[in-house]
Amino acid sequence: EPEVTQTPSHQVTQMGQEVILRCVPISNHLYFYWYRQILGQKVEFLVSFYNNEISEKSEIFDDQFSVERPDGSNFTLKIRSTKLEDSAMYFCASSPAGNTEAFFGQGTRLTVV
Amino acid sequence: DQQVKQNSPSLSVQEGRISILNCDYTNSMFDYFLWYKKYPAEGPTFLISISSIKDKNEDGRFTVFLNKSAKHLSLHIVPSQPGDSAVYFCAASPTSNYQLIWGAGTKLIIKP
């Protein structure tokens, strides 16, 4: 069964460093998303991406964040100058069309120290 | 931001009985609702969805009911099985965009 894969499963980084979280969405899906869940809090939408551009983003997704689809398979989230409060589980998801069920990866646990 | 609320942090149900998980929403622009199941250290797994033009959708042991006037939806699992023990998230989306707004989750525990 096709699945969304995320690497790494756990990333530890020092405050102020840049991190890139990687995702391989399901191959025939057209919409890609990043969500995050801070420990003990709700899952929060960060950004959606369609047709090689951001279609929506939340207030959380400020200039510190960027997304890219560098080739036909990967979808990355870059966090510049990480802060302690960026520590969270980051989930990548994809869907075949907008406003349909999204399929999630296993997540990357980001720990900023 | 409490647009989607799951007021029960946890629910314990006997194996074989019905599990009913509840979700309330405040935004009348939501027209697509989903339930996800999540095990520890895994990503959310899609279970079932319903659009606002329906009031019920059924898939095997899972049924979702939508009461638009009350802005309430529920997920029924019958019969409940031990593998159903997980955290269940309600999520909603308006047609104007595709982002999902999530509830806080309900931890379902199925007792043998």
Instruction: Please tell me the predicted confidence (pLDDT) of residue B96.
Output: 63
Q: Which residue has the higher pLDDT, B29 or B87?
A: B87
b/e string for B5-24 if b means 16 or more Cβ within 10 A? ebeeeebebeeeeebbbbbb
A99 vs A61: CA distance, rounded Å: 20
Mean pLDDT of B71-89: 97
Q: Is the pLDDT of residue B95 over 80?
A: no
Sequence-ordered strand ranges (E) for chain B: 4-5, 10-14, 19-25, 30-38, 45-51, 56-59, 62-67, 72-77, 86-94, 101-102, 106-111
Beta carbons of B4 and B90 less than 8 angstroms apart:
yes
Residue-wise pLDDT tens digits, B21-30 = 999 999 998 9
Residues of A within 8 A of B95 (CB-CB) are 99
- Asked if B43 lies within 8 A of A43 by C-beta distance, the reply is no
Instruction: Give pLDDT, residue B1.
Output: 58
The answer to whether the CB atoms of A101 and B102 lie below 8 A apart is no
Helix (H, G, I), strand (E, B) or coil at B53: coil
> For chain B, what is the domain count?
1
Q: What is the pLDDT along chain A (113 residues), one digit of tens a residue?
A: 789 999 999 999 999 999 999 999 999 899 999 999 999 889 999 999 999 999 999 999 999 999 999 887 899 999 999 999 999 999 999 998 876 789 999 999 999 99
Among B49, B98, B104, the residue with its CB nearest the CB of A31 is: B98
Mean pLDDT for chain B? 94
Decide if pLDDT at B98 tops 90.
no
Task: For residue B49, give the amino acid letter.
Answer: S
Q: Which SS3 state, helix, strand or coil, does residue A71 take?
A: coil
Cα distance between residue B4 and residue A42, in whole Å: 10
Domain containing B98 — which CATH number? 2.60.40.10
Nearest Cα of chain A lies from the Cα of B108 at a distance, in angstroms, of 16
Of A43, A95, A107, Cβ closest to residue B102: A43
Residues of A with CB under 8 A from a CB of B: 4, 6, 31, 33, 35, 42-45, 48, 55-56, 58, 91, 93, 95, 98-107
Contact B98 A55 (CB under 8 A): yes
Domain that holds residue B66: 4-111
Give every CB contact of residue A98 below 8 A, 6+ residues apart in sequence.
Answer: A31, A48, A50, A55, B98
Q: Which fold has domain A5-112?
A: Immunoglobulin-like (2.60.40)
B82 phi/psi in degrees, rounded to 5? -55, -35
- C-alpha closest to that of A90 among A55, A47, A56: A47
Q: What is the pLDDT of residue B41?
A: 82
